[in-house]
């Protein structure tokens, strides 16, 4: 048969399939689909069709790329578009057959999208979905659309048309076409494919080989596997074209044995193509002969390197050798050889079938066409994608991948697998092309793309990759074999908290030498993850070394329990939880007091960073650490006092400016160390933001008062109504050290016309007035501008002051709101209205009211914080009338004296000592960090106490042993799934009439039950 | 033109086409440190010490694997090359036993030599040595992996010179080691004990069991067979304590077999060795002089008829000796019954 006859037959068969009067059911059954249960779905489909005695065509396809949505089941009814259903279970499949095939209800809720002509109500166009819209399918053109085991399907969609065209051209003409297309090697290095072919063609020799490198081995990469499983003929056709152009008579596909389905389909494809006369002697009567063999690799990563790959085909140990000679001169068995990656071959077939110009209209100036990537890691929608080169990382992660999973913060993205580097979130606008990625310290690589979030520790991450390359190093060259070992050991040391500052220099120097000095690509790129993470995340390395702190709470050698490790004050959370479980709140509160003097305050209002890293959260829900702390503080008594050891007086005097959590904590510990401490407070009452920022319904003021009283009992003198204008004057008065903890009490202006109206007040001033007991009239209608915790406090306070209607105006959506979820929920429950995606533009006085002019916003581009930037929608202006407008868009410190300040008017200090530029003056808390949390301020107070004590000749030892020893410690028995208790709260009806505490606290039974959910990570054996 | 000209460190040098940059440098009298390079073996490029900078070439190519080309300009002593050399040797030293004094290769060790050349006196890296058990199963040499630098000269010698292939590199990364098939003891492998691996080992990893050093050397011909291998016997007092082949000498170009390399010393000084002819008298073997013994043999041979005599010679004899002896048999003794032990 001629090719035309073969093609006609294939087209007829394909048309019959497309226009059949039977329904068609399509199941994506590549390895990925099978792993998620596609074959069970398929079995059920068959059984259901039989049960209902339905006649339908069932087709298996390769992977369409939507990993997160597998198994995928598509149904095409005659005359209807193809509807794609995601996450299909056998049960859902059975329902779909009954509902759609029999009852004609397409179940739009279960559908992902529809393809083809026509539409179905309630189902969007598949290719218009956000994750598909930016994609262009050239390499993966057939994946998910044809049965990969049917050669006729491939031919019907234009397959082997490129070969037929090729056979009518001269080999040089084919090479010119590839050169014109701008195709570059998709294995990662990006060498121009046409040039590579030309070198091999020009190389003298009768026997030449070509090789398809399908030894995909990067952790997290599966592009080549999916391609071969979904469309094996595209690779074979590309090889045929290459062989013709180069003058090769034999080819190899080197594919790893771990890809059994891909190998099976490739073998079948080879057999089919041979039967059709596309492979073998005198192909399609052209006189051109070519044979292909499949070589299964044993799974060594280094065999992806071309010279090692050739050694492996030759039956030798897979070890690379230096070049020159290049494979084009002397490759497989010493003959000229051309090796290209699987994806490159598939692109070749598409280029010859269409044209070089067609291919070159995709991509960037220097990198043409598309590139496939395995988008994996901490992304909402992990997928196999194909995008035009030159797309930005931002589009890939946020548009296609739907952002970071679990609402976490994006940290970076690793491209190029273990040979690549990490690109930080701040460089999300980077264009994904060979040059830009290299400039950013990474590589394009073969297409692995791993998204990292805040829970990824960069030291651990670098360590993972280097341990991979170390164990996959072939051992031949010294730099790679021993250099990566030393790098791995050094990272291990840092991860265990045994690193030294010199280790960073060692990593950088050795990394550089290994890159320059290694024999092959494996060693030359192995240090990339380490060097790029050092380039962009050096602070994490330094934190591990200097502070023995792993911010992601990952490095097991440093992190005894993630909760206590994450607590800024380092409270031994698992221990106090165990005391609660044992019914000993007194002992429990003593544990808490070993680190902080404000157990109650934290029990009520802590932002509990500990809970975000609680391992129980990965199982069902994080342990309610804050509610347990409140229980301990409420029911614990003064046992802790027995453990307190007062130090003898040192005769040194310390002044603390500001009586917030930072100031009082520092004062407390300095007094315990024997110093004479005086706290100066500008306001009439001590407590700082704990007193004047947090409303009573969240933090009862008697609790705060009791804890401040204990601080005074420790010998701290508090002078209220005393504003310090110049801290240096305190030094002149005889204080040896001054700690500035003045907080951030100045509300930020809205920056819009009319905000000087008497009806406009800033949030900090508003809350201060209310908390100091002054009468504040807010009127009936109150607007709060902002979306943080302070804005919520203001809104809920306004309700309690009698406002009938409180409206929050926030420029983004609920998902981006910085306020804590619990707070938002409570505010909504109490009747606070929120206008999302709205921003004020102008305030106009209307008698005793103001008219607030606003504009609707839409979410635009993602910014470096990973949140989408709000942009005003033209013509969407609206206005509202209010009695009071509260601006809650942020606070700044008011810095006394002449100190160096940084962004947000914060005081600049040495972060290790908290020393300001002026001798004897230290600063900490919100005044240094900008508005933060109580626990961070307490931590700053602790740090200041240590630092000031040392500056006064002490040892800075402030930790106390206050709790008695625990009994015998048992590891937790098997933990069944169980969620945390719901915190009992004041009924809604009783809330708005007063400032009574909303959260009522746990009972002893509930507390013990909750304490039992703790996994006791601290008792685990670590490396 | 099969000669090419190139410049190495400013010195112009002519080499034959096909020569490597390293060979060109050596021809120009420029020293480049090496560890895995061995003139008997194919270029390898593993130790990274011979890296150089070549104008118009990217990175740091290894001079041992890079062919010299016309007009090439090579710089061997550059900061970048020396940084890599230093790092490589420091890494090797950190992974190497430090007990040089008790190493059989002490003062002859090539690692010592390059470390000294680079002036390495302290290590920036912590030691990564492990303790491997010494494979002393072979009767003639030990394999002590604690002293191995994985240059693979042994592996290549076994493959390229003797074509036995008893050893190869096994495992990956830091776990890589020289091993026999199935990681068995050397004695359980197909090793022929020829000792080529030992002869090519730059360190003390493969060392003969006899570790004493000779005080002088004597060049001789191996007495074991007729090939006539040239060898240097290391003499210490009245004992032969070492044997080595010399690559300049024909016919063996330095190669030796198990008998020549390990069978000489013991056999020469063995108490059972015959050092004088014996003649049986009254049922007992008695030492006699050569003249007396030869007279006896001549007398006896003369007493037989042609057909009563057969001659058998030894493979230890050279071709010439065997030729002379068959001549004696045919022409003098008149017998064609001539045979040779190597035919058995």
The tens digit of pLDDT for each residue in A878-905 reads: 999 999 999 999 999 998 888 888 888 9
A489 touches chain B (CB under 8 A): yes
B174 with A483: Cβ contact below 8 A: no
Measure in Å the smallest separation between the Cα of A24 and chain B Cα atoms.
50
Measure in Å the smallest separation between the Cα of A365 and chain B Cα atoms.
25
Of residues A992 and B33, the one with the higher pLDDT is B33
Q: How many CA atoms, within 13 angstroms, populate the side-chain half-sphere of residue A123? A: 24
Listed in order, the ranges of chain B carrying CATH 3.30.70.20 are: 131-211
Structural contact between residues B142 and B136, judged by C-beta atoms closer than 8 angstroms: yes
| Alpha helices, DSSP H, located in A432-519 | 434-439, 458-472, 478, 484-495, 501-517
**Chain centre to alpha carbon of residue A950:** 40
B53 touches chain A (CB under 8 A): no
- Residue A219: pLDDT above 90? no
C-alpha dist (Å) from residue B234 to A19, B66, B105, B215, B256: 91, 37, 15, 7, 15
Q: Which of B21, B140, B114, B125 is nearest to B76 (CA)?
A: B21
Picking from B43, B45, B173, the nearest residue to A470 by CB comes out as B173
The stretch A979-997 carries a mean pLDDT of: 89
The stretch A143-155 carries a mean pLDDT of: 96
DSSP code, position B342: G
Chain B neighbours among A 513-542 (CB < 8 Å)? 513-514, 516-519
C-beta atoms surrounding B29 within 10 Å: 10
CATH no., domain B218-273: 2.20.25.90
DSSP code, position A858: E
C-alpha dist (Å) from residue A353 to A349, A359, A437: 6, 10, 30
Quote the pLDDT of residue A588: 96
Q: What backbone phi and psi angles, to 5 degrees, belong to B306?
A: -50, -50
Closest chain A CA to residue B151? A476
DSSP code, position B108: T
Measure in Å the smallest separation between the Cα of A467 and chain B Cα atoms.
10
Quote the pLDDT of residue A973: 67
User: Which residues of chain A neighbour B172 with C-beta distances below 8 Å?
Assistant: 300, 302, 471-475
Structural contact between residues A874 and A841, judged by C-beta atoms closer than 8 angstroms: no
A322 touches chain B (CB under 8 A): yes
Quote the pLDDT of residue A769: 94
| Cis peptide upstream of residue A359 (ω within 30 degrees of 0) | no
User: Which residues of chain B neighbour A479 with C-beta distances below 8 Å?
Assistant: 48, 84, 87-88, 91
Question: Could you give the CA distance from residue B23 to residue A465 in angstroms, rounded to a whole number?
Answer: 39
Residue found by looking up tokens 């994080």 in the block: A622
The stretch A812-841 carries a mean pLDDT of: 92
Quote the pLDDT of residue B307: 86
Burial class for A91, CB neighbours closer than 10 Å (0-12, 13-18, 19+):
exposed
Structural contact between residues A807 and A834, judged by C-beta atoms closer than 8 angstroms: yes
Question: Could you give the CA distance from residue A319 to residue A336 in angstroms, rounded to a whole number?
Answer: 19
Closest chain A CA to residue B65? A322
Collapsing DSSP to helix, strand or coil, A601 comes out as: helix
Picking from B48, B128, B169, the nearest residue to A475 by CB comes out as B169
pLDDT in tens, A181-208: 999 999 888 999 999 999 999 999 999 9
Q: Which of A576, A708, A569, A715 is nearest to A639 (CA)?
A: A576
Q: Give the CA dihedral B319, B325, B330, B331, nearest 10 degrees.
A: 110
Q: Which of A933, A947, A926 is nearest to A663 (CA)?
A: A926
C-alpha dist (Å) from residue B130 to A467, A486, B98, B303: 18, 14, 12, 72
Picking from B46, B95, B128, the nearest residue to A476 by CB comes out as B46
Collapsing DSSP to helix, strand or coil, A665 comes out as: helix
pLDDT in tens, B76-111: 999 999 999 999 999 999 999 989 999 999 999 999
Q: Please tell me the least confidently modeled range out of A394-398, A771-775, A900-904, B276-280.
A: A900-904
Quote the pLDDT of residue A556: 87
A interface test, pick of B46, B59, B61, B128 with most A CB neighbours within 10 Å:
B46
B125 with A474: Cβ contact below 8 A: no
pLDDT in tens, A154-187: 999 999 999 999 999 999 999 999 999 999 999 8
The per-residue pLDDT of chain A, averaged, comes to 94
| Residue ranges with strand state E in chain B | 3-8, 11-16, 53-54, 73-75, 141-143, 167-170, 177-180, 206-208, 216-221, 230-236, 239-245, 278-281, 284-287, 311-313, 338-340
Element (H, E) at A95: helix A90-96
A481 with B128: Cβ contact below 8 A: no
pLDDT in tens, A263-292: 999 999 999 999 999 999 999 999 999 999
The strand pairing partners of A857, in sequence order, are A872
- Confidence band for A788, pLDDT divided at 50, 70 and 90: very high
DSSP code, position A1018: G
Picking from B51, B168, B172, the nearest residue to A474 by CB comes out as B172
CATH no., domain B3-118: 3.10.20.740
Residue found by looking up tokens 């808390």 in the block: A925
Collapsing DSSP to helix, strand or coil, A189 comes out as: coil
C-beta atoms surrounding A874 within 10 Å: 8
User: Which residues of chain A neighbour B171 with C-beta distances below 8 Å?
Assistant: 475
Question: Could you give the CA distance from residue A910 to residue A913 in angstroms, rounded to a whole number?
Answer: 6
The stretch A675-702 carries a mean pLDDT of: 95
Residue found by looking up tokens 């962004």 in the block: A903
Picking from B61, B80, B173, the nearest residue to A481 by CB comes out as B173
B61 with A322: Cβ contact below 8 A: yes
DSSP code, position B297: H
CA quadruple A177, A180, A186, A187: dihedral sign? positive
A322 with B152: Cβ contact below 8 A: no
User: Which residues of chain A neighbour B46 with C-beta distances below 8 Å?
Assistant: 476-478, 519
Q: Compute the radius of gyration of chain A from its Cα atoms.
A: 34
| Alpha helices, DSSP H, located in A537-639 | 538-546, 562-566, 573-581, 585-593, 599-605, 609-613, 616-619, 625-635
Measure in Å the smallest separation between the Cα of B73 and chain A Cα atoms.
16
User: Which residues of chain A neighbour B60 with C-beta distances below 8 Å?
Assistant: 516-517
B interface test, pick of A324, A478, A514 with most B CB neighbours within 10 Å:
A478
Chain B neighbours among A 242-301 (CB < 8 Å)? 300
DSSP code, position A316: S
Structural contact between residues B311 and B329, judged by C-beta atoms closer than 8 angstroms: yes
**How do strand B230-236 and strand B216-221 relate by DSSP bridges?**
antiparallel
B88 with A322: Cβ contact below 8 A: no
**How do strand B338-340 and strand B311-313 relate by DSSP bridges?**
parallel
pLDDT in tens, A44-94: 999 999 999 999 999 999 999 999 999 999 999 998 999 999 999 999 999
- Residue A533: pLDDT above 80? yes
Quote the pLDDT of residue B1: 58
Structural contact between residues A222 and A313, judged by C-beta atoms closer than 8 angstroms: no
Picking from B46, B124, B149, the nearest residue to A519 by CB comes out as B46
C-beta atoms surrounding B272 within 10 Å: 5
In chain A, what percentage of residues exceed pLDDT 70? 99
B interface test, pick of A517, A519, A527 with most B CB neighbours within 10 Å:
A517
Collapsing DSSP to helix, strand or coil, A995 comes out as: coil
B174 with A482: Cβ contact below 8 A: yes
Structural contact between residues B337 and B309, judged by C-beta atoms closer than 8 angstroms: yes
B interface test, pick of A326, A473, A482, A516 with most B CB neighbours within 10 Å:
A482
B91 with A474: Cβ contact below 8 A: no
B46 with A471: Cβ contact below 8 A: no
A interface test, pick of B20, B37, B48, B177 with most A CB neighbours within 10 Å:
B48
Counted across chains A and B, CB pairs separated by less than 8 A come out at 112
In chain A, what percentage of residues exceed pLDDT 90? 87
Structural contact between residues A849 and A814, judged by C-beta atoms closer than 8 angstroms: no
C-beta atoms surrounding A6 within 10 Å: 19
| Alpha helices, DSSP H, located in A368-407 | 393-394
Question: Could you give the CA distance from residue A698 to residue A418 in angstroms, rounded to a whole number?
Answer: 49
Question: Could you give the CA distance from residue A161 to residue A164 in angstroms, rounded to a whole number?
Answer: 5
| Residue ranges with strand state E in A356-417 | 370-377, 383-388, 410-415
Structural contact between residues A24 and A57, judged by C-beta atoms closer than 8 angstroms: yes
**What's the ipTM?**
0.91
Question: Could you give the CA distance from residue B129 to residue B112 in angstroms, rounded to a whole number?
Answer: 17
CA geometry: angle at A891 spanning A890 and A893, to 5°? 160
Residue A463 tokens read as 């360590």
Query: Crossing angle of helices A501-517/A528-536, nearest 10°?
Result: 140
User: Which residues of chain A neighbour B183 with C-beta distances below 8 Å?
Assistant: none
Measure in Å the smallest separation between the Cα of A535 and chain B Cα atoms.
22
- Residue A1023: pLDDT above 60? no
Quote the pLDDT of residue A974: 67
Query: Crossing angle of helices A484-495/A538-546, nearest 10°?
Result: 60
| Alpha helices, DSSP H, located in A747-871 | 763-771, 789-800, 821-829
Listed in order, the ranges of chain B carrying CATH 2.20.25.90 are: 218-273
Maximum C-alpha span of chain B: 87
Quote the pLDDT of residue A441: 87
Question: Could you give the CA distance from residue A125 to residue A84 in angstroms, rounded to a whole number?
Answer: 10
Residue found by looking up tokens 């420790």 in the block: A714
Chain A neighbours among B 157-176 (CB < 8 Å)? 168-169, 171-176
Picking from B59, B66, B172, the nearest residue to A472 by CB comes out as B172
Residue found by looking up tokens 């191995």 in the block: B148
CATH topology for B131-211 is Alpha-Beta Plaits (3.30.70)
Size of chain B in residues: 344
C-alpha dist (Å) from residue A957 to A108, A870, A910: 65, 48, 20
- Confidence band for A619, pLDDT divided at 50, 70 and 90: confident
Structural contact between residues A458 and A422, judged by C-beta atoms closer than 8 angstroms: yes
Structural contact between residues A274 and A280, judged by C-beta atoms closer than 8 angstroms: yes
Picking from B46, B66, B67, the nearest residue to A478 by CB comes out as B46
Listed in order, the ranges of chain B carrying CATH 3.10.20.740 are: 3-118
Chain A neighbours among B 71-130 (CB < 8 Å)? 80, 83-84, 87-88, 91-92, 94-95, 124-126, 128
Measure in Å the smallest separation between the Cα of A736 and chain B Cα atoms.
44
Give pTM, 2 decimals: 0.89
- Confidence band for A534, pLDDT divided at 50, 70 and 90: very high
pLDDT in tens, A433-486: 999 999 998 888 889 999 999 999 999 999 999 999 999 999 999 999 999 999
pLDDT beneath 50, residues of chain B = none
Measure in Å the smallest separation between the Cα of A210 and chain B Cα atoms.
24
DSSP code, position B60: -
Quote the pLDDT of residue A118: 86
User: Which residues of chain A neighbour B47 with C-beta distances below 8 Å?
Assistant: 477-478
Measure in Å the smallest separation between the Cα of B141 and chain A Cα atoms.
24
Residue B137 tokens read as 């199963």
Question: Could you give the CA distance from residue A194 to residue A210 in angstroms, rounded to a whole number?
Answer: 14
B62 with A478: Cβ contact below 8 A: no
């Amino acid at each position: 048969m001629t090719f035309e006859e073969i093609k006609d037959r294939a087209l007829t068969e394909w048309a019959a399939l497309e226009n059949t009067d039977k329904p068609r059911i399509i199941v994506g059954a590549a390895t990925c689909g099978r792993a998620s249960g596609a074959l069970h779905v398929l079995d059920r489909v068959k059984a259901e069709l039989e049960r209902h005695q339905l006649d339908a065509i069932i087709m298996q396809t390769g992977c369409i790329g939507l990993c997160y949505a597998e198994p995928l089941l598509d149904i095409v009814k005659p005359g209807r578009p193809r509807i794609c259903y995601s996450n299909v279970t056998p049960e859902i499949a059975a329902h779909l057959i009954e509902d759609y095939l029999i009852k004609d209800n397409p179940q739009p809720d279960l559908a992902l999208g529809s393809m083809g002509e026509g539409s179905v109500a309630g189902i969007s166009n598949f290719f218009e979905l956000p994750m598909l819209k930016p994609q262009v399918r050239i390499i993966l053109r057939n994946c998910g659309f044809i049965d990969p085991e049917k050669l006729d399907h491939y031919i019907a969609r234009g397959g082997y048309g490129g070969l037929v065209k090729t056979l009518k051209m001269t080999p040089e003409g084919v090479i010119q076409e590839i050169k014109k297309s701008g195709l570059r090697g998709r294995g990662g290095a990006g060498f121009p494919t046409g040039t590579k072919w030309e070198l091999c063609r020009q190389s003298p020799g009768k026997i030449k080989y070509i090789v398809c490198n399908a030894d995909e081995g990067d952790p997290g990469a599966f592009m080549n596997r999916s391609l071969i499983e979904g469309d094996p003929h595209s690779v074979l056709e590309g090889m045929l074209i290459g062989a013709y152009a180069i003058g090769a008579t034999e080819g190899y596909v080197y594919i790893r044995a771990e890809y059994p389905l891909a190998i099976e389909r490739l073998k079948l494809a080879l057999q089919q193509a041979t039967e059709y006369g596309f492979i073998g002697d005198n192909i399609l009567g052209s006189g051109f002969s070519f044979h292909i063999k499949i070589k299964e690799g044993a799974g060594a990563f280094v065999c992806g390197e071309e010279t090692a790959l050739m050694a492996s085909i030759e039956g030798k140990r897979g070890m690379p050798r230096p070049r020159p000679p290049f494979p084009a001169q002397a490759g497989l068995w010493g003959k000229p050889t051309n090796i290209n990656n699987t994806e490159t071959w598939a692109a070749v077939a598409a280029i010859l079938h269409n044209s070089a110009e067609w291919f070159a209209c995709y991509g960037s100036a220097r990198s043409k066409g598309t590139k496939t990537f395995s988008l994996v890691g901490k992304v909402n929608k992990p997928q196999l994608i194909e995008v035009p080169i030159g797309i930005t990382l931002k589009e890939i992660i946020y548009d296609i991948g739907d952002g970071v999973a679990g609402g976490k913060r994006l940290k970076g993205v690793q491209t190029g697998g273990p040979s690549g580097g990490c690109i930080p979130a701040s460089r999300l606008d980077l264009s994904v092309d060979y040059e830009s990625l290299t400039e950013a310290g990474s590589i394009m690589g073969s297409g692995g793309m791993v998204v990292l979030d805040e829970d990824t520790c960069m030291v651990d991450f670098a360590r993972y990759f280097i341990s991979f390359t170390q164990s996959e190093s072939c051992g031949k060259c010294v730099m790679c074999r021993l250099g990566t070992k030393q790098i791995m050991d050094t990272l291990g040391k840092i991860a265990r908290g045994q690193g030294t500052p010199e280790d960073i220099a060692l990593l950088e120097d050795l990394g550089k030498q290994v890159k320059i000095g290694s024999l092959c690509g494996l060693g030359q790129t192995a240090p990339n993850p380490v060097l790029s993470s050092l380039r962009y995340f050096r602070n994490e390395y330094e934190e591990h070394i200097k502070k023995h702190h792993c911010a992601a709470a990952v490095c097991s050698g440093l992190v005894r329990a993630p909760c206590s490790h994450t607590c800024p004050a380092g409270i031994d959370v698992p221990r106090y939880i165990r005391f609660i479980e044992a019914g000993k709140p007194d002992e429990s509160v003593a544990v808490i007091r070993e680190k902080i003097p404000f157990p109650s305050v934290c029990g009520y209002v802590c932002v509990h960073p500990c809970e975000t890293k609680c391992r129980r959260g990965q199982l069902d829900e994080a342990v309610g650490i804050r509610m347990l702390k409140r229980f301990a503080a409420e029911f614990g008594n003064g046992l802790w006092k027995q453990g307190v050891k007062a130090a003898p007086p040192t005769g040194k005097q310390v002044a603390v400016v500001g009586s917030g959590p930072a100031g009082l904590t520092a004062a407390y510990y300095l007094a315990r160390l024997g110093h004479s401490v005086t706290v100066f407070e500008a306001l009439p009452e001590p407590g700082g933001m704990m007193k004047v920022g947090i409303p009573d319904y969240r933090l009862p003021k008697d609790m705060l008062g009791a804890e401040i009283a204990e601080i005074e009992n420790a010998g701290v003198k508090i002078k209220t109504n005393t504003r310090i204008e110049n801290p240096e004057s305190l030094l002149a008065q005889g204080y040896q050290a001054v700690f500035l903890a003045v907080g951030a009490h100045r509300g930020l202006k809205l920056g819009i016309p009319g905000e000087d109206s008497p009806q406009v007040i800033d949030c900090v001033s508003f809350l201060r007035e209310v908390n100091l007991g002054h009468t504040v009239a807010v009127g009936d209608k109150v607007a709060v501008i902002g979306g943080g915790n302070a804005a919520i406090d203001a809104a809920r306070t306004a309700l309690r002051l009698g406002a009938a209607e409180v409206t929050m105006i926030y420029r983004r959506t609920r998902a981006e709101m910085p306020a804590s979820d619990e707070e938002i929920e409570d505010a909504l429950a109490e009747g606070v209205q929120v206008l999302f995606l709205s921003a004020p533009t102008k305030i106009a006085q209307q008698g005793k009211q103001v008219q607030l002019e606003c504009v609707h916003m839409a979410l635009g581009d993602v910014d470096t914080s990973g949140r989408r930037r709000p942009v005003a929608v033209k013509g969407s202006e609206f206005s509202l009338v209010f009695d009071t407008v509260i601006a809650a868009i942020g606070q700044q410190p008011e810095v006394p004296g002449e100190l160096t300040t940084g962004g947000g008017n914060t005081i600049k200090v040495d972060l290790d000592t908290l020393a300001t530029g002026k001798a004897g003056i230290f600063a900490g808390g919100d005044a240094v960090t900008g508005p933060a949390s109580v626990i961070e301020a307490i931590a700053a107070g602790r740090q200041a106490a240590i630092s000031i004590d040392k500056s006064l000749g002490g040892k800075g030892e402030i930790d106390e042993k206050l709790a008695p020893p625990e009994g015998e410690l048992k590891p937790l028995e098997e933990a069944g799934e169980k969620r945390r208790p719901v915190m009992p709260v004041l009924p809604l009806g009783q809330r708005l009439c007063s400032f009574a505490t909303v959260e009522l606290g746990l009972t002893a039974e509930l507390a013990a039950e909750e304490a039992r959910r703790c996994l006791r990570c601290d008792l685990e054996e670590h490396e | 033109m099969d000669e090419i000209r190139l410049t190495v460190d400013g010195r112009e040098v002519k080499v034959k086409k096909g020569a490597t940059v390293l060979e060109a440098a050596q021809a120009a009298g420029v020293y480049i440190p090496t560890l895995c390079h061995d003139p008997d073996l194919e270029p390898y490029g593993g130790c990274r010490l011979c890296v150089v900078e070549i104008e118009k070439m990217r990175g740091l190519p290894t001079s041992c694997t890079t062919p010299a080309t016309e007009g090439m300009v090579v710089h061997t002593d550059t900061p970048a090359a020396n940084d890599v050399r230093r790092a490589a040797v420091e890494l090797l030293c950190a992974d190497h036993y430090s007990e040089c004094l008790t190493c059989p290769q002490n003062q002859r060790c090539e690692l010592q030599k390059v470390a000294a050349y680079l002036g390495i006196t302290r290590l920036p890296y912590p030691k990564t040595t492990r303790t491997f058990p010494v494979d002393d199963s072979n009767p003639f040499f030990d394999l002590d992996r604690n002293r191995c630098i994985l240059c693979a000269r042994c592996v290549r010698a076994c493959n390229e010179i003797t074509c036995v292939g008893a050893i190869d590199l096994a495992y990956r990364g830091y776990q890589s080691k020289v091993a026999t098939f199935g990681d068995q003891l050397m004695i359980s492998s197909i090793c022929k004990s020829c000792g080529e691996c030992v002869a090519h080992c730059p360190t003390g990893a493969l060392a003969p069991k006899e570790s004493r050093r000779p005080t002088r050397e004597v060049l001789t011909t191996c007495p074991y067979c007729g090939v006539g291998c040239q060898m240097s016997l290391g003499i210490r007092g009245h004992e032969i304590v070492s044997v080595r082949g010399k690559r300049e000498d024909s016919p063996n170009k330095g190669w030796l077999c198990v008998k020549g390399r390990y069978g000489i010393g013991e056999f020469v000084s063995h108490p059972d060795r015959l050092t004088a002819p014996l003649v049986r008298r009254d049922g007992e073997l008695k030492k006699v002089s050569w003249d007396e013994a030869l007279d006896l043999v001549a007398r006896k041979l003369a007493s037989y008829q042609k057909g009563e005599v057969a001659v058998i010679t030894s493979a230890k004899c050279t071709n010439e000796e065997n030729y002379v002896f068959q001549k004696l048999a045919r022409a003098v003794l008149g017998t064609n019954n001539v045979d040779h032990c190597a035919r058995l």
